[in-house]
Amino acid sequence: MSGLADAFAAARREGRAAFLAYLTAGDPDADTTAALARALERAGADVLELGVPFTDPIADGPVLQRAASRALAAGTTLPRVFEIARRIRRETRLALLLFTYLNPLHRRGIARAAGEAKAAGFDAVLVTDLPPEEAPEISATLRAGGLATVFLVSPTSPAARMRAAARLSSGFLYVVSRPGTTGARTSLPRDLAATVRRARRAAGDLPIAIGFGISTPESARQAARLADGVVVGSALVAAAERAGPDRDRSVERLARELAGACRRGEP
């Protein structure tokens, strides 16, 4: 089993949803990213989504756009992301998911990037702007490189697109809680349960994780009752941004609350 599959299996055995945390690699530097990864592991995270900073992050809200800008200003490139991942792999047991736009992979070469990502310790890859209709060849190349693949579906995805995304996904199916960009929200949409039911029909035995908009223990608790995994990104990045030098403790404190909320026995 891959580290990603192991993470979901362990969470399932323990009666909880897996906790997937997101960081932008190199924000504001490599040392900070590694330190935050260690803090997330201490807090109970199972999977780290490590984002590749990109100049045109159309899927990201203001918090992650600022994170990408800081990382790019620090000189973070795709090869640098792989260096950071190797360090995190040495220092933690987190499963690693490469969260990227298509352009950086194309510039590197899909097969080359897949091989380098695997060698760096990544278990899976999610390409945010790669629709299922255009993905079969790229997805096959990534899987041939030893990486699991993850695709996104949303409340507006018709059944055919959900089935296509599920067929191409070998790690988990990522359910976007609401249309739009990433970013913390105060509540989850009322139709999320219906969206997850549709996604499960498409996914079969494939794990499902919910992301986009989860920022509080209460929203994490709601998502954990519906899905196999809960993804939190902007809230953690914002906590680090606000805390400055105290970012490790601030992120660990929030992540610990979120991880606790993923336990389905919690009231």
Given the residues 41, 60, 123, 252, select the one marked as catalytic. Answer: 60
**Six-digit token string for 265:** 């026995």
Given the residues 49, 116, 123, 228, select the one marked as catalytic. Answer: 49
The answer to whether residue 205 is catalytic is no
Give how far Cα 5 sits from Cα of 1, 35, 85, 104, 170, Å. 6, 24, 18, 26, 9
The answer to whether residue 248 is catalytic is no
Q: Which residues are catalytic?
A: 49, 60
